[in-house]
Amino acid sequence: MTYPQPPWTLKGDAFVTLQLLDIARVRPLIPAELNIVSVLPGKTIGGVYLSKYSSGSVLEYSELIIIAGVLSYEGKFGGWVSHIYVDNPDSVAGGRQVWGLPKELAQFSWEASSVTVSQAGNLLCKLNYQRQSFGLPLKLSASAFSCKESNLLIFPAFVEANFGLVSSSLEIPTTSPFAKLNISQPILTVHSDRLKLVVDAPTVVGQTRL
């Protein structure tokens, strides 16, 4: 199985939801060495990221990412990817071997006003949305933590896109692997089109027992 070396440049469009998550629910999924950033008593910020990368990308595929919280470690901040699904085996291999991300294969169905993600015939989640008629061009950057073997990693991502708020609802059945995070009520949802995402190589920042 082959995959490109980092950085990965990915182009397409995406949806990002923002949720308040219970720290007690996400703590078991996150290495003890990482501190969970509290934004309200007992709450951290998480969300769902759904994207479709097309022409101009190093790999073409769809992706579902569950962000289980915002973390800090020795002055560095980043999100934690607790679950991640794609529909390209090369993306699975690269995500696991380069970034230490727990990528799995899943099936994606993109419709005019919804995205459905399933695995082996079981629904993982469905995002229903109404597209916006405008977008604000922005350049943003963020980081995420991950683990590979005993190494604690961090990697940066850089985004250029037109961003706009959309109305949405999330359907996550109780049988979904991430249903226990109670992540089905978005505070807000952002759509980004003309997306250019650059994900750089990770660096080792510490050791973990997870």
15 membership: H or E segment, kind and range: strand 8-22
Dihedral pair phi/psi, residue 64, rounded to 5°: -125, 125
Assign 3-state DSSP to the chain and report helix, strand, coil percentages, each to 5.
Answer: 10, 60, 30
- Say if residue 201's pLDDT is above 90: yes
Residue 98 lies in a domain: yes
The reported pLDDT for the residue numbered 134 is: 78
Residue 1 lies in a domain: no
Q: Pinpoint the alpha helices (H) of 65-139.
A: 89-99
Residue 3 lies in a domain: no
The reported pLDDT for the residue numbered 135 is: 87
Residue 65 lies in a domain: yes
**Predicted model pTM:** 0.97
Residue 164 sits in a domain whose CATH number is: 2.40.400.10
Rounded to the nearest integer, the mean pLDDT of the chain is 96
Residue 2 lies in a domain: no
Please give the tally of structural domains in the chain.
1
Residue 196 lies in a domain: yes
The reported pLDDT for the residue numbered 35 is: 98
Full residue range of the structural domain in which residue 38 is found: 8-207
In angstroms, rounded to a whole number, what is the distance separating the alpha carbons of residues 195 and 12?
Answer: 5
Mean pLDDT along residues 29-48: 97
